[in-house]
Amino acid sequence: MIAATSNEQQQPKAHHYYDDIDEIKALFCRESSYLLVTKAHVYEASLQLVHYRSKILVWVDKTVRQFLYDTQLVTITMDYFDRYVLQTQNIICPWTLQLVAMSSLYLAMKLHMGDNHYIDNDGKMQPKRIVSSTSYAELSSGKFSSDALTAMEIYICHTLEWKMNPVTSTTFVDSLLQLMTPPLLVGNRRNNILPSNEATTIMNTPDEYQKLILSRQVLLKLAKYFNQVVMSLPENSPYFNFVDSSGSLDCDTFAPSTVAYASILLSMEALTHAALPLIIRNEFLHRCLQLHTDLHPHRTDVHELQHKILKKQFQPSIFLKQFTTTENIAMQKFGILEPTFLEGIIATSSTMDSSPLSPRSIMKAADTSTNTNA
């Protein structure tokens, strides 16, 4: 009896759809608690801050990639930076901005670096580089000492009231995609993403199973790629507005959940009807709407954000480099991606409104079907 009980305890718990619902609701609550700072501080960023923030964003992204860390650290770093700037609201000199940026990144590295290993291009596991405070300070070319960086880290933590675990758009992408229903979510793996060491055997699986797994993989990677495009926009921040005297900069903020939702919808448009059937798209949109009333494809800010992504001169060839040769062959074999997407011309709002695969068209068809059945 004892042995049986022990074995039962070692069995993984069954995963239920409602577990995902609870998890996503918790993410929305955490997101709201962080965004409350926006309501407490009405702040419009100057054009000068946009200029410095753009340079800081490029430096943070370059540094994270140089150390081969998860690019999600870029989002977390800029979250710390933006909230600090918002809550201090002082006229900050470039020297101080650089100190805040470096300290924010080092905090993000220490708190959110994740696994100590990464997979290289040959599929081999390699240890991540661990950076000491002294070595990190040297990146400033003598501007800051390790003590100065440590002191600023403590000041940032106190200013942010130790709220150092923001919800990123990447986290929302992972969670929202759990709402995709069978048959797309197949097998025992929750995310159904083939590990790199199994990618070479993808052609040996049955065709339908292979197509479903590959469709899921492409959808996830594409949504995260679009997330990175948004991250590269210097005017994008969930916390404050960027305006100048002419009003040429954007005046709207985009919450991480909005960025994730817009990225997923745009990714869905890139997949063919065969790869992502209408019934799965329809069910996903309805589940999102039932989960949170803000998750609606008709939202103006969602479409505005999608246009921002497309204006960044998105090049499918760069995206496709994330896949192995075998996976690219499989995508062509099964017709995973829309031909217009491969040509780099998904584009205009009229296309997005009229395409039979577009979220708006799907919702219209679903509404019509519901009214007819009623």
- For 174-214, write each residue's pLDDT tens digit: 999 988 865 444 433 444 433 444 434 444 456 777 788 88
Domain limit, last residue, from 133, 166, 199: 166
Q: How confident is residue 71, by pLDDT bands cut at 50, 70 and 90?
A: confident
In three-state secondary structure terms, 258 is helix
122/261 same-domain check:
no
172 shares a domain with 124: no
φ/ψ bin of 337: left (φ > 0), alpha (ψ from -120 to 50), beta (otherwise) = beta
- 160, two tokens: 């942010």
Residues 172 and 118 occupy one common structural domain: no
Whether the model clears a pTM of 0.85, i.e. scores above it, the answer is no
pLDDT at 330 (0 to 100): 82
The length of the chain is: 374
Question: What is the token pair recorded at 186?
Answer: 């197949």
Range of the domain at 303: 168-374
Amino acid 317: pLDDT = 72
Both tokens of residue 351?
A: 């296309």
Same domain, 282 and 362: yes
Do 186 and 330 belong to one domain?
yes
How much is the pLDDT for 118?
Answer: 59
**Is 249 a member of any domain?**
yes
% of the chain exceeding 90 in pLDDT = 21
The C-alpha atoms of residue 102 and residue 213 are separated, in whole angstroms, by 40
Amino acid at 226: F
Q: Look at the chain and report how many structural domains it folds into.
A: 2
Q: Please identify, among 115, 147, 166, the residue that sits at the C-terminal boundary of a domain.
A: 166
**374: in domain:** yes
What value, to the nearest 5°, has the Cα angle with vertex 306 and ends 305 and 309?
Answer: 90
User: Same structural domain for residues 162 and 184?
Assistant: no
**Residue that finishes a domain, picked among 125, 146, 166:** 166
266 Cβ partners below 8 Å, 6+ apart? 222, 223, 226, 306, 309, 310, 346
* pLDDT value, residue 101: 94
Q: Examine residue 12 and state whether it is found in any structural domain, yes or no.
A: no
* Overall average pLDDT of the 289-306 stretch: 85
**Average pLDDT score over residue span 342-355:** 46
